[in-house]
A and B are shown apart, each in its own frame.
Chain A
Amino acid sequence: MNEAIAADTAVPGQPPRQDSGYARKVLRATFARWGARLGIAWILSLLLLAVFAPFIASSYPLLMAVDGQLRSPLLAHLGPGDVSLLVLFAGALVLIRLRLRWRQRFAWLVAIGLVAGVLSSLLVKPPAITIYEVYREAESAGRIDWLIRAPVPYSPKDYLRDQGDTGLEAPLESDHRRHWFGTEENGADVLSRMVHASRIALGIGFVATGIAMVIGVILGGLMGYFSGVVDIIGMRLVEIFEAIPTLFLLLTFVAFFGRSLYLMMVIIGITSWPGYARYIRAEFLKLRQQDFVQAAIASGLPLRSILFRHMLPNGVAPLLVAASFGVASAILSEATLSFLGLGLVDDPSWGQMLNQAVRSSTFNWWMAAFPGGAIFLTVFAYNLIGEALRDAIDPHLNKG
């Protein structure tokens, strides 16, 4: 009896472990592979580049002293998007430190993102006119006591108007300006454009795949759980959507509604959900017969809990694999579209830079090699992670 009492007093309180052993095991198995490690390292460094893009590549000085006064033009020129990204990043760092459940963390992250987005669009007002050359001119005129520049001291849309007739320049060609990756036809720094374009690459991958997964999981889950008529209708819907050529739809929408990054994300998202729906449907059809699901039904648990608490975590593994490949293909879709000249007009993206390389009359290797290499590495990184994940959850390959 003593033992029982001692055990009783130990019961209420926090569980000794936070998340399930399975998730941890899969992650460990995934990142035991070199490929996956390299992949995640590349993605994480891209993430850092994307979040801190204005601090890494900008024509505005980070810090300068004029007449004994310290000023930071860079901070003054940060846009609402930049600010909310930074807030989100800081929030994510804090959330990782806190001991919370994954769902709570996710909810907090979404909340922080929304609040940061709304507040920054209301409060952050960068100067409407952006003149990149003022600080360079001021510096050469000696009006600035001292200044610290960003590592790449050129903004992506800084066409170096003050430098005379600049155009295409190979890497490190010019003597008095340092362009590590050369410049494009208008004279803007390629490296700077690539750094800023990583935002689009990452954003489109995550958002488009996220939309596809949400639709796919809900529809596929309902199809698998209810089967019967719901399943028949759902599968026909899946077939209809699979028959739509994404690129054609994108071209049509761009022709009608103009170019918009968000439109692109949504379209890629709503045309690529059928794959996820099929995966989840198959998993749910299998899981539905499992005894623990029957036990949940017999206990009278609500449908929401049966679907998302008891079935989804057991069927989500193949979905994650599909998602990592999906992110890669979304990045490629955007690159394809930009390459065809239907991407964003003004903002740089990797695909659009490739397009520039092709349009030029001479072959400028730096215009093709660097953005092309970035696309290749990113897609490759996602595929490496996807493959490692797939092997990690495959019980037949599991050697214990």
Chain B
Amino acid sequence: MSGSPLLRVENLTTRLRTGKQQITAVDDISFDISRGQTFCLVGESGSGKSITALSIIRLLPADISSHPQGKIQFDYRGDDGSSTRVDMLRNSEDLNRKIRGARIAMIFQEPMNSLNPVFTIGEQIMEALQLHRPGLSDDEARSLAIAALEQVQIPDAGQRVDDYPHRLSGGQRQRVMIAMAMACEPDLLIADEPTTALDVTVQAEILRLMRDLQQRRGTSILFITHDFGVVSAMADQVGVMKDGKIVESGPIDAVLHRPQHAYTRQLLAALPENLARPAARQPVPANSAQEKPTTADPLLQLDNLQVHFPVKKGVWRHTVDYIRAVDGINLEIPRGDIVALVGESGCGKTTLGRAVLRLEQATGGDIRFDRQSITGLSRQQLLPLRRKMQFIFQDPMSSLNPRLSIAAALTEPMAVHGIGRSPADRLERAARTLEKVQLRADHLWRYPHEFSGGQRQRIGIARALVLGPEFIVCDEITSALDVSVQAEILQLLLQLQQEHRLTLLFITHNIGVVEYLSNTMAVMYRGRIVEYGATATICKQPRHDYTEKLLNAVPRMK
């Protein structure tokens, strides 16, 4: 690929205006994308990856953004086949509109929102086609649309072309988005975290599809992601972004295996698979390799637990069917152990976690906590048990009451359970707990909106800890966090677990986290546990087909 690359970004700077403030979201970055190559921009949230993409395709609103310097040179292939070098920043809006969609296409992170729900997917692809090729008749456009859907391996494309988006799954919608983007045969495809919202097995399929299409069409891809596993699966070239700057860029091998910049090294070290496991781990119980271990001292026992949600129809709302979110689970969690519950979205793992704490009513089976059945307990009877079982939530933004200070959030549960002699004593305990999660005691008087995501997650952990629980359900507690923050939270959690002899049920979809954290893992699929045993054993020799598929789909650094 000698000569000029397809896209050359030179000293691009993007300023965004919010209110009276100006922030430099992209700060003097330069990179090239050659034909048929994939350039990955990787970085943590807020590093300016998406803004870079939007700057290139010129989708930022002109009234809030400005480009004080830089060039975005793009080889524009005209309709007659001639190619001219244009600068996206200085083109007329007319030309940019022609380039957008036809020559540079973009796919977004959230497949649920990026399709218009009131048009069929066929109509949406046809509209894109006819916009950029005005001569196209409806019939031709339709057959092209079907061909595009076939290309992205939508089964029965001829029929599905008339479906509305809500009838498609998340992965299928992302395929449709790719079909729509590729329909006009663009030279450059910008993919902004296209698989982040998808399950890992679906992600693997989408990534494979994108690579196939790229090879067949020779399309260049600008791929934006935060996941180094995905980077290693997709990229030819990598740029690592931090605070609007590209701190390091180069061929994938060099960057991933011989990182030069301290930040890159720090990011790579924070990956769960690279985290050093603490030395003082408990030995894996000898019998845990069995299908269903019977430990001497199980803290929590689930006996054929079921949570079925009724599906109601008709005027009288009679129940026509059930959604079997949790469908007969047998599980024993030994005291002091960390059990990871792995599964894809919709497999019922969150429902299971909530049912264990009686946040969701079990419709069948039995839950025994410390040998006491808690399924039939009333609110009052459950109260003394509540302090022993706590929950840490996934979304740090919604898990804290925005109108209560941290002090109130921490001391109120203590007061209810009679912990601490006086309000001052409870405040003292809350302050101690905050220090345990590596926050400062004066953070007590702040409100949740003053904290970052990682800090909020620490507060979430502190809230669970103030009651002195024995058992905590952690529901995807790191999936909303950046990888370096995730590493800190995981290390903190391990440390606390050992200090307090906690028993954890750790729900996640991230295999790397499972390997780092847990001794024992359970794989959940369609409301059932398909495999249970020691983490190391399962990861090496999965017995169930689904586990194998799941493990193979995990993008790993090569």
A residues adjacent to B (C-beta < 8 A): 4, 7-8, 10-12, 15-17, 20-22, 290-292, 294-302, 305, 309-310, 313-314, 399-400
Residue of A with least CB distance to B397: A291
Complex: A305 Cα to B18 Cα, angstroms: 38
In Å, the complex CA distance between A196 and B474 comes to 63
Min CB distance B17 to A, Å, is 10
Partner among A11, A16, A298 whose Cβ is within 8 Å of the Cβ of B357: A298
The answer to whether B383 has its CB under 8 Å from any CB of chain A is yes
User: Which listed residue, B387, B428, B440, touches A300 by the CB 8 Å rule?
Assistant: B387
Closest CB of chain B to A236's CB: distance in Å? 14
Contact B403 A298 (CB under 8 A): no
**B19 near A399 (CB under 8 angstroms)?**
yes
Query: Is the Cβ of A22 less than 8 Å from the Cβ of B402?
Result: yes
Q: Is the CB of B394 within 8 A of A291?
A: yes
Which B residues are CB-close (under 8 A) to A300? 382-383, 386-387, 413, 416-417
Within 8 A of A (CB), among B364-386: 382-383, 386
What CA separation (Å) do A295 and B359 show in the bound complex?
9
**Which of chain B's residues 12-56 have a Cβ closer than 8 Å to chain A?**
18-19
Question: From residue A234, how far is it (CB to closest CB) to chain B in Å?
Answer: 16
Nearest Cβ distance between residue A29 and chain B, in whole angstroms?
Answer: 12
Q: How far is the CB of B363 from the nearest CB of chain A, in Å?
A: 15
Q: Is B412 an interface residue (CB 8 A)?
A: yes
A303 CB to closest chain B CB (Å) equals 8
For this complex, 9 residue pairs linking A to B, each with C-beta atoms less than 8 Å apart, are A4-B441, A7-B431, A11-B428, A15-B405, A16-B445, A22-B403, A292-B398, A294-B391, A302-B416
List the 7 closest A-B pairs by CB distance, nearest first.
A300-B386, A291-B399, A299-B413, A291-B393, A7-B441, A313-B403, A11-B431
Contact with A along B400-427 (1 / 0, CB 8 A): 1111110100001100110000001001
Query: Are the C-beta atoms of A4 and B357 separated by less than 8 Å?
Result: no
* Residues A295 and B405 in contact, CB atoms below 8 Å apart: no
Query: Does A400 lie within 8 Å of B18, measured CB to CB?
Result: yes
CB distance from A32 to the nearest CB of B (A): 13
Interface centre among B383, B394, B398 (most CB of A within 10 A): B398
User: Which residues from chain B contact A294 at a C-beta distance below 8 Å?
Assistant: 354, 359, 391, 393
Number of residue pairs spanning A and B whose beta carbons lie under 8 angstroms apart: 100
Collect the chain A residues with CB atoms within 8 Å of residue B403's CB.
20, 22, 313-314
- A4, B435: Cβ atoms under 8 Å? yes
Partner of B427, one of A11, A299, A313: A11
State whether A299 and B445 are in contact (beta carbons under 8 Å apart), knowing that A15-B405, A291-B395, A400-B18 are contacts in the complex.
no
Chain A hits for B387, CB < 8 A: 299-300
CA distance A301 to B379 in the complex (A): 10
The minimal Cβ–Cβ distance linking B307 to chain A, given in whole angstroms, is: 15
A7 near B357 with CB under 8 A, answer no
Residues of A close to B400: CB separation below 8 A: 292
The 8 Å CB contact of B445, one of A15, A290, A297, A301, is A15
Question: Given that A298-B357, A298-B391, A313-B403 are known contacts, is A10 also in contact with B416, CB under 8 Å in the complex?
Answer: no
B444 at the A interface (CB under 8 A):
yes
CA distance A8 to B436 in the complex (A): 13
Interface centre among A22, A292, A297 (most CB of B within 10 A): A292
Are A292 and B428 closer than 8 Å at their CB atoms? no
Once bound together, how far apart are the Cα atoms of A15 and B443, in whole Å? Answer: 11
Give Cα A294–Cα B445 distance, bound, in whole angstroms. 23
| Minimum CB distance partner of B400 in chain A | A292
The answer to the question of B488 belonging to the interface, with a C-beta cut-off of 8 Å to chain A, is no
Contact B447 A292 (CB under 8 A): no
Q: Quick check: is B449 within 8 A (CB to CB) of the other chain? A: yes
Known: A294-B391, A298-B391. A310 touches B401 (CB 8 A): yes
- Residue on A nearest B460 in the bound complex, by CB: A295
A305 CB contact (under 8 Å) in B412, B417, B440, B447: B412
| Nearest CB of A to B382, in Å | 7
- Asked whether A12 lies within 8 Å of B413 as measured between CB atoms, the reply is no
> Taking each of B417, B424, B441, B442, which has the highest tally of chain A beta carbons within 10 Å of its own beta carbon?
B441
Task: Let me know if B467 is at the binding interface, CB within 8 A.
Answer: yes
B 429-451 to A, binary, CB cutoff 8 A, 1 in contact else 0: 00100010000111011010100
A299's partner among B386, B440, B449 (CB-CB below 8 A) is B386
**A295 contacts which of B393, B428, B431, B445 (Cβ < 8 Å)?**
B393
Instruction: Quote the shortest CB–CB distance from B113 to chain A (angstroms).
Output: 16
Give complex CA distance A309, B405 in Å.
12
**B142 is an interface residue with CB less than 8 A from chain A:** no
B407 touches A15 (CB 8 A): yes
A309 to B416, CA, bound (A): 14
Q: Is the CB of B398 within 8 A of A7?
A: no
Contact of B440 among A7, A22, A310, A313 (CB under 8 A): A7
B371 to chain A, nearest CB (A): 20
Name B390's contact: one of A20, A291, A299 (CB within 8 Å). Answer: A299
Indicate whether A295 sits within 8 Å of B399 (C-beta atoms), given known contacts A12-B424, A305-B412: yes
Known: A10-B442, A399-B19. A301 touches B401 (CB 8 A): no
Q: Which of B386, B405, B431, B463 contacts A8 (CB 8 A)?
A: B431
CA A7 to CA B357, docked complex, whole Å: 35
Chain B residues whose C-beta falls within 8 Å of the C-beta of A301 in the assembled complex: 412-413, 416
Q: Are A290 and B398 in contact (CB under 8 A)?
A: yes
* A309 contact from B19, B357, B404, B449, Cβ within 8 A: B404
- CB–CB A11/B442 < 8 A: yes
Which residue, A15, A290, A291, A399, has most C-beta atoms of chain B within 10 A? A291
Write out the residue numbers on chain B whose beta carbons fall within 8 Å of the beta carbon of A314.
Answer: 401-403
Query: B404 — which chain A residues lie within 8 A by C-beta?
Result: 20, 309-310, 313
User: Are A17 and B445 in contact, CB atoms less than 8 angstroms apart?
Assistant: yes
Docked pose: A313 CA to B403 CA in angstroms: 7
Residue of A nearest to B399 (CB): A291
A302 to B379, CA, bound (A): 9
User: Beta-carbon contacts of B97-131 to A below 8 Å, as 1s and 0s?
Assistant: 00000000000000000000000000000000000
In the complex, A290→B383 CA distance in Å? 21
| A166 to B312 alpha-carbon distance, docked (Å) | 75
B401, B442, B449 pick with most chain A CB within 10 angstroms = B401
| Minimal beta-carbon separation of B331 from chain A (angstroms) | 19
- Give Cα A298–Cα B449 distance, bound, in whole angstroms: 22
Beta-carbon contact of B399 and A297 below 8 Å: no
Residues of A within 8 A of B424 (CB): 12
Q: Contact: A292 with B445, CB < 8 Å?
A: no
| Chain A nearest Cβ from B8, distance in angstroms | 35
> A291-B399, A292-B398, A313-B403 known; A11 and B416 CB under 8 Å?
no
Max count, chain A CB within 10 A of own CB: residue among B394, B398, B403, B467:
B403
| Supplied contacts A295-B393, A301-B416, A313-B403, 4 more A-B pairs, CB within 8 Å | A4-B435, A11-B441, A15-B445, A300-B387
Distance from A80 Cβ to chain B, minimum over Cβ atoms (Å): 39
Find the A residue at minimum CB distance from B317.
A232
- In the assembled complex, which residues on chain B have CB atoms less than 8 Å from the CB atom of A299? 386-387, 390, 412-413, 416-417, 463, 467
Which chain B residue has the least Cβ–Cβ distance from A297? Answer: B359
- What residues on A are CB-neighbors of B354 within 8 Å? 294
Nearest-neighbour CB distance to chain B for A1, whole angstroms, equals 11
Contact residues in B for A399 (Cβ distance below 8 Å): 18-19
- Name the residue in A11, A17, A297, A309 with the highest tally of chain B Cβ atoms < 10 Å from its Cβ: A11
Max count, chain A CB within 10 A of own CB: residue among B413, B428, B435: B413
Measured CB to CB, the closest approach of chain A to B413, in angstroms, equals 4
A261 to B148, CA, bound (A): 72
Q: Which of A7, A20, A300 is packed against the most chain B CB atoms within 10 Å?
A: A300
